[in-house]
Amino acid sequence: MKNSLKAVSASILAAAMLTPTAQAEISANVALTSDYVWRGVSQNQEDPALQGGFDYAHESGFYVGTWGSNVNFGGASTELDIYAGWSTELESGLGLDFGIIEYTYHGSDVASDLNFTEYYAGISYAGFGAIYSVGDELDDQWEVSYGYDFENGLSLAAAYGDYTLGDDYQYMSIGGSMEVGGIGLDLTYYTTDTEAVDDIPDTDDRVVFTISKSF
């Protein structure tokens, strides 16, 4: 179904999500990953993906950016996302984030049929985070997460979410990351409630390794 294809084919919101802005700056990122997984589902038929993006963050809290990756589904070979929002951190340490993201797909005459928009609102505090998203054509999604940074540079992160595709399905991830010589290394395990998504491909449990660099 058209909506099912869209639901399993979008991207992560990249580094802009739940990241309060300190000062105006332009940044870039590039990554090579063993699989592009979004909400527990592979977007590239479990093959490697090359990804990257640019972000502009203003000291007022406003940010805008773009992010892309190769994909392989529904006639699409490339995904390009454009997002904008506003984030801040209150004196109490509570972080707030509100924004909109447009997912666009390219590579064939029918790829653009997969395009859709999501609106999101997030909150974070002391390593804990929660985000709620709703689409213009799809149902809603929520996710809770926790991250902890050790003094040796190792960071651990876990997330649990629920996405409604007619019926709900749940997904979870847990992993660790660190930076070595300016290069980010990440190893993350993904799993889904496969009984609820038997009609959606590429939902097997998997471990994904990612190498990244920020500028």
In the structure, what pLDDT confidence band is assigned to residue 4 with cuts at 50, 70 and 90?
very low
In the beta sheet, which residues pair with residue 157?
147, 175
Q: What mean pLDDT, rounded, does the chain reach?
A: 86
Task: Find out whether 34 and 42 touch, Cβ atoms under 8 Å.
Answer: no
Delimit the domains of the chain by residue range: 2-214
pLDDT average, residue stretch 58-75: 95
How many CB atoms are closer than 10 A to CB 183?
11
CB 9 within 8 A of CB 43: yes
Spatial separation of the C-alpha atoms in residues 18 and 205, rounded to whole Å: 26
Model pLDDT, residue 194:
65
Residue 28 has pLDDT above 70, yes or no: yes
Which has the minimum average pLDDT: 31-35, 39-43, 59-63, 180-184? 39-43
Backbone angles phi, psi at 192, to 5 degrees: -135, 165
The whole-number pLDDT of residue 106 equals: 96
Domain 2-214 in CATH: superfamily? Inverse autotransporter, beta-domain (2.40.160.160)
Question: How far apart are alpha carbons 166 and 149 in whole angstroms?
Answer: 37
Q: From CA 86, how far away is CA 19, in angstroms rounded? A: 10
Supply the pLDDT for residue 5.
Answer: 43
Contact criterion met (CB below 8 Å) for 120 and 98 = yes
Confidence of residue 136 (pLDDT cuts 50, 70, 90): confident
